[in-house]
Amino acid sequence: MGSHVLGLQEIDRSQVGVVGGKGAQLGELARIGGIRVPAGFCVTTDAFRRVLQDVPAVEELLDRLSRLRPDDREEIDKGSAEVRQALEAAPIPDDVAAAITGELTRLGDQVAYAVRSSATAEDLPTASFAGQQDTYLNVVGAASVLRHVSRCWASLFTERAVTYRLRNGFDHHRVHMAVVVQQMVFPQAAGVLFTADPITSNRRVACVEAGFGLGEALVSGLVNADVYRVRDGEIVSRAVAAKDLAIEALPGGGTREQEVEPDRREQPALTDEQVLELVRLGRRIEAHFGRPQDIEWCLAGDGFQVVQSRPITTLFPVPETGDDGNHVFVSVGHQQMMTDAMKPLGLSVWQLTTPRRMAEAGGRLFVDVTAILATPSSRAAFLGVAGGSDPLTGDALRTVMDREGFLPPPLEEGAVPPIPGAAPTTIETDPDVVTELIGQAEASVAALKRDIASKSGAELVDFVLGDFQELRRVLFDARSSQAVMAGMQATRWLNDNLLDWLGEKNAADTLTLSAPHNVTSEMGLALLDVADVIRPHREVVAFLQDAQDDFLDELDGLPGGAAARDAIVAYLDRYGMRCVGEIDITRPRWSERPAALLPMILTNVRNFEAGAGARRFEQGREEARAKEQELLERLRALPDGEAKAAETKRMIDRVRTFIGYREYPKYFMISRYFVYKQALLAEAARLVRAGVLSTEEDMFFLTLQEFHDVVRTNEVDDELVRRRREEFRSYEALTPPRVLTSDGEAVAGAYNREDLPEGALVGLAVSSGTVEGRARVVLDMADADLEPGDILVTAHTDPSWSPLFVAISGLVTEVGGLMTHGAVVAREYGLPAVVGLENATRLIQDGQRIRVNGTDGYVEVLPAT
């Protein structure tokens, strides 16, 4: 056999470049003991390249395709059709055709075949192209097989495949096509087996889908399948579907839909024993490949045959634990309002910041709460804090706790550290405490800037690694933690007691309007002041509409430009260390990309008048003061009213003293991160000049400790950096669960509420009031185009989003809790807000009119008028 054709038995997974993803996987499957794969061969990528040589026009057409934009559908349709026509019309070279027909003779001329495309970039773990190319069933006769091989080559250039490659940066010239030709199996049943549950991601639960006839009926969605779930060798759920149709092979070639006889339609396609046998085969395949698999199978005659197996790319990875016990993990990103994947440097900097090491998976951080949940005293305190802030997390944790035998025996009391925020705070209500804490933190950052300036090389990285001790000292200072908790506990006290005494819902929302020392709220109001400087200068406003990141230097030549530049630079001096996703040190800061602020500045220029920042703050303060007077008067009219009013007044003073400080520790941490980052990037730039790193961003794909080694040795593992980049790309596509178990199960929580209007979307009420307006669904802050009265709907809002809050009338997010940043700032601005509304950005469409009820925690989509 020449290099144009390889038998399946000659192939293993290392030959993706020769036989494509599907071919390599089938060759590897054929090597697993006890797994039967239909006999066949692969037409290699060498044959495809040989055909391209004979059709020189294709190269030119591919060049033209590569220059198109992914959204230019008309040109993509036209260009891809031209490539397909050229390939299908080209005669297969004699030596290639002879190699294919020789194999057909060996396997049997009169046998029917399945002909499937197998692209070199298909079915790889990081880019599942499932369904990107074509499959032809029941192909009979050598001439027909050759024709369908040409069709498979052409299928590399369908509009969908071309668009996918343009969008994901795959080069059309570098993706080649192999073709798998296998003897056709005519099964009585076929379907799909997932060795991990595709709904919950539980690795211990396998899911079998089965139907009559060829598996294509299921894969194409033509019929409902029987669905079985199997755990530990036992069927734990079954649903037998009515299977009206099956796809059957025709004697002369091709397939057709055929009705299933009425008395068979509700018969199971497999017996229970066959389901269990199939799962045992699946576990063997999974063990061989080392990760959960999506397996296409068929049952013919005396047993199962496997026609395809690929990794399930949508599963969220399981954190490593180092033991075989059960574990429960809670997402850190949901608490931080930032659920995006983080790069390795970002993860390692966070790990150096936090007092206890966290679990990592899928580019996200998790806290292992197994011991806390297993111990009765800590369990109650933790559920009170975690569930109180985010009911979905609380409900998911209760689901796990209700499973008999899942959690280990409880640890002895005292073995688990106390839960922050569970015990009442004892700090005195004194505004000087907050100003002292802020002063100490600012002095610490100033000392860092002074001390780091003289450091470089390994000494610099040593210094940064050592400085985390100072970062943690300030960040976790006992008085600082007490101040944060005092504000949160006072909020809860006011809401609980005023609801009980006066029937007043969420009273703290109004009472905390314009609280002092909230650095995140001040950041939004300060951007209104920047807009005031720019608004009178029309030429500056016009220039900023299309400005790039280097725009600051160009402002000087415009009337009013110098004042605009000074205002923006002063803002960046105070807040330029912030950005979207700021807990990841690798994300570009506003100081690095100042153009990120321009959409918000221009929105403020357009929507507000001069002095809006100060007026807004004063108005909030007046509302809070008026609400305080009203509540105290109503309390005094109650039995024992004077005592209730006095206690409430103490709590109002306490909440206004401390609630603003809730935002400061993170600001301090991010300020420090930016000082580290600037120094480390200068070091990375030196390594790029020395030829050690290819780009400064390579540093982001190393941990800080690994970067230390690179600086010390002037050597980097390029393969490690490349692999980490690829892994990060795959992690970006994943959605982290709030709660995850060591079985890989993403445990979903529910609100369990019945007091809602019909059709309402349920979330968590975090800032009171009801508002109607136009929904603006914004996934990227740079795309925010807001008008007065708009309601912002987005996935999550870390502090960098808060300058947008001044321009909106309501807020809806998919992630969040009572005390996460978006909620605290929404309350201070008096914005009705509902957070934790799962899939909000998909359930609500941009431009729809919606009603946000921030008092009772739901959103209604209003009928179009």
Residues assigned a catalytic role = 821
Nearest to 600 by CA among 804, 798, 822: 804
| Of 791, 808, 769, 834, the residue nearest 506 (C-alpha) | 769
183, burial (CB in 10 Å: exposed 0-12, middle 13-18, buried 19+): middle
85, 168, 192, 676, 812 from 81: Cα distances, Å: 6, 21, 32, 52, 44
- The number of residues in the chain equals 865
Q: Which residues contact 622 (CB under 8 A, 6 or more apart)?
A: none
The whole-angstrom separation of Cα 501 and Cα 449 is 51
Residue 555 DSSP code: G
Q: Which residues of 788-797 are buried (b: 16+ CB within 10 A; e: fewer)?
A: eebbbbbbbb
Give SS3 for 462: helix
Tell me how far the alpha carbon of residue 338 is from its chain's centroid.
9
CA–CA separation, 739 and 747 (whole Å): 5
Read off the tokens for 433.
């405490």
CA–CA gap between residue 710 and residue 699 (Å, rounded) = 9
Residues 6+ apart with CB under 8 A from 233: 276, 279, 280
d(C-alpha 364, C-alpha 746), whole Å = 14
Sheet holding 234-239, edge to edge: 234-239, 226-231, 205-212, 189-194, 293-300, 303-311
Report the distance separating Cα 85 and Cα 189, nearest Å. Answer: 36
DSSP characters over 360-387: EETTEEEEE-HHHHHSHHHHHHHHHHHH
> Which has the closest alpha carbon to 738: 830, 832, 816?
816
> Vertex 579, ends 710 and 389: CA angle to 5°?
110
- Residue 212 Cα distances to 116, 209, 215, 227, 302, angstroms: 21, 11, 8, 13, 16
User: If you compute the radius of gyration of the chain from its CA atoms, what whole number of angstroms results?
Assistant: 31
Q: What number of CA atoms fall less than 13 Å from residue 516's CA on the CB side?
A: 12
* Secondary structure (DSSP) of 199-244: TT--TTEEEEEEEES-THHHHTTSSPPEEEEEETTEEEEEE-----
What does residue 239 show for φ and ψ, rounded to 5 degrees? -140, 110
Angle CA 641–643–644, to nearest 5: 65
